[in-house]
Structure 1
């Protein structure tokens, strides 16, 4: 990567708060497998209010209930974790796998988050804010449109066109959607 290329950051999760007293944190993982976030030993914590990004090394991580708990090197108190509340856990897009034709690879999920979703007739439905694995197929969670939140299956019958360069997903809604 040359010094003039802009880094494309991908959000893998969010710091949700402290877990205990010794620097552990609850994390909302956006990766297909919740523990997939631990595949990345270095996290960049982005504070959206201050527009700052800080590089941190993952200390440890584990599944806990339906979520994940992690520690970061140098973050050893509950107060230090609370100061990170709401930060986005990011990595450069270049550190994610290409994904090829496998829609279940985190790299592909990361590429879909933020895309504008429109029906084939041009009606805007919102933006992909999250992905969800259901077992049968992945689901796009779309918010910000006039009809509120929509859950759209990520299948060929619904997703008719995917333009990642323009960040647009064209869909054909099935009856009842």
Structure 2
């Protein structure tokens, strides 16, 4: 079986007849109904969506075989997965996170930076997390400027690290902390 991709997470029970809140991670929230049985992370439990309707920021769904609130409550927090091959093909410059995680990260000069650990989105755009061989991970914008090349077949992403700002004293390199007004120390 191919890699599993997380497509949804079950939330709290909704009502008394086995419905749950369902947060989907797909472009079309209702796509979870088209993938066939959804799997728990361990691959041992399967869930088939019986009904789904749109709510404010999630779906309200029922699963075949889940008919009571108690059964629904026990599912809270379960992540649902599908095999990678069941997902639709991506457009150019679109990637599934699972396809990027583990790729080598190199600079535009070919210097090894580490491996792609994760892709995050905290609301202001995608962030690529690079785990170097030693030291703390790096969080960089996942943009064309910073990641000019993604070569899945070649197993790497090319990173153009943003330029650092030269400090005024002793030439040390500083990360920007705040915008300074004239006259500020």
- Could you state the TM-score of these two structures normalised by the residue count of structure 1? 0.66
- Indicate conservation of the 8 Å contact 2:8/2:79, yes or no: yes
Partner of 2:118: 128
State how far apart, in whole Å, the 2-side matches of 1:19 and 1:66 are: 14
> Which of 144, 147, 158 is equivalent to 1:159?
147
Post-superposition CA distance 1:35-80 (Å, at most 9, x none) = 1543525232314xxx343232211223322223221111112221
Offset, 1:139: 1.9
> Which of 149, 159, 167 is equivalent to 1:171?
159
> Which of 62, 65, 76 is equivalent to 1:71?
62
Q: Which runs of 5+ in 1 are unaligned?
A: 1-5
Offset, 1:157: 1.5
Partner of 2:38: 44
Q: Are residue 11 (structure 1) and residue 12 (structure 2) matched? A: no
Aligned residues: 159
> Matches of residues 47-58 of structure 1 in structure 2 within 5 Å?
47=41, 51-58=42-49
Matched position secondary structure for 2:37: strand
Q: Which runs of 5+ in 2 are unaligned?
A: 165-174, 176-185
Structure ID, larger Rg: 2
Distance 1:79 1:7, change over 3 A: same
Partner of 1:22: 17
Greater strand fraction, Structure 1 or Structure 2 = 1
- Could you state the TM-score of these two structures normalised by the residue count of structure 2? 0.64
State how far apart, in whole Å, the 2-side matches of 1:30 and 1:130 are: 13
> Matches of residues 91-110 of structure 1 in structure 2 within 5 Å?
91-101=82-92, 103=94, 108-110=95-97
TM-align CA RMSD: 3.4
- Indicate conservation of the 8 Å contact 1:42/1:55, yes or no: no
Offset, 1:21: 2.2
- Indicate conservation of the 8 Å contact 1:32/1:133, yes or no: no
The structure, 1 or 2, with the larger RCO (C-alpha pairs under 8 Å, 6+ apart) is: 1
State how far apart, in whole Å, the 1-side matches of 2:163 and 2:12 are: 40
